[in-house]
Amino acid sequence: MSQLKLATAPVSWGIWEQTIDRSDLVPPRPLLETVTAMGYRALETGPPGYLAENGPSAAELIGPFGVDLVATFVPLRLDDEEGFREDLDALDRAIEVLAATGGGIVLLADAERPERAAIAGQPGRIARNGLSSEQFDRAAERLERAVERCHKRGMRAALHPHAATFVESEEETEAILERTSSELGLCIDTGHSIVGGADPVDLARRHADRISHLHLKDVDAGVLARLRDGEIDMDEAWVEGIFCPFGDGIVPLSEFLAQPEVRGLDGYAVLEQDRIAVRVDDLPAVQVVEEQNLQRVKEWLA
């Protein structure tokens, strides 16, 4: 039997860094009502400040729902010392909320940039326009500082390789992992791995000792092909639904979930199908797809 636990994330319901400024986001309570009705007892927090402004208000919000907050995704400008220091404010807010609600894991990623969105999913161009060895050294040092900040409050931290950033491809991921200690875990995101040209199954096998969290996604082959050809950028790919319903795309999710390193993980696999525009009136339709995604994952794990 797998000991892997399942969770959902606000990004599947249209709430994430690219949409957080929208005025029609699904509010926290309807979201919590919807996901708990599906049987979820764990979810990620969404961008810092979405669920609650601080730890006590987060604990008060989730108390009646009986859910655990298991992770927060925090982008950091790893190539820019001044920007990195500014981003630490968001990191501190994330740490406070998780610490007040029973703990969780902080997912640290490089921040998205327009110039990287323009070449996301194109390994050749990424290799020619990445960080230098010295820049990777400094990026790793900043990550270590962020990890220490998490540890001081009792939080674990993991690297989340991510499209449209300087840590997208397999080579960029390896550059960071080899420069950082095992105190920084690894979050394998099956969708972002495929976009970046990596094989999530291979990543799980090679980095079993560092896996601490999982994001499950599937990838639409047609949208990915257009991204690879440079017809669209990553921002446009999100709008066009590059992350599709589970089982409809090219990610080997069944094989990934069959890996001992994955099935035996004492942690969470978070189901994510990124959506751009979800309003309260859209919740029933989105719930139908999300229930299908959840059922497929349960069948693969069984």
Residue 203: predicted pLDDT: 97
Task: Give the burial string for 150-173 (b: 16+ CB within 10 Å, else e).
Answer: beeeebbbbbbbbbbbbbbbbebb
- Whether the CB-CB separation of 202 and 147 falls below 8 Å is answered with no
Give the tens place of pLDDT for each residue, 244-272: 999 999 999 999 999 999 999 999 999 99
- Whether the CB-CB separation of 209 and 182 falls below 8 Å is answered with yes
- Whether the CB-CB separation of 194 and 169 falls below 8 Å is answered with no
Distance from CA of residue 156 to its chain's centroid? 15
Question: Among residues 164, 147, 145, which one has the least CA distance to residue 17?
Answer: 164
State percent of the chain over pLDDT 70.
Answer: 99
Give the tens place of pLDDT for each residue, 156-194: 999 999 999 999 999 999 999 999 999 999 999 999 999
Domain ranges of the chain: 5-301
Cα separation of 29 and 41, whole Å?
Answer: 14
- For 286-294, the CB contacts below 8 A with 24+ separation are 286/12, 286/13, 286/14, 287/34, 287/38, 289/245, 290/8, 290/12, 290/38, 291/38, 292/245, 292/246, 293/245, 293/246, 294/6, 294/38, 294/39
Residue 3: predicted pLDDT: 85
Question: Among residues 115, 103, 297, which one has the least CA distance to residue 218?
Answer: 297
> Tokens 């291979």 correspond to what residue?
202
Residue 2: predicted pLDDT: 60
Fill in the DSSP letter of residue 121: T
Q: Does the pLDDT of residue 1 top 60, yes or no?
A: no
Among 1-10, 39-48, 135-144, name the one with the lowest average pLDDT. 1-10
Question: Among residues 138, 203, 201, which one has the least CA distance to residue 170?
Answer: 203
Residue 282: predicted pLDDT: 97
Identity (one letter) of the amino acid at 116? R
Q: 5-301 has which CATH code?
A: 3.20.20.150
pTM over 0.85: yes
Q: Does the pLDDT of residue 103 top 90, yes or no?
A: no
Residue 121: predicted pLDDT: 98
Give the tens place of pLDDT for each residue, 212-226: 999 999 999 999 999
N-terminal to C-terminal alpha carbon distance within the chain: 8
Q: Where are the alpha helices (DSSP H) in the chain?
A: 28-37, 55-62, 81-100, 114-117, 123-128, 133-152, 170-177, 190-195, 200-206, 221-228, 234-239, 253-258, 260-263, 283-301
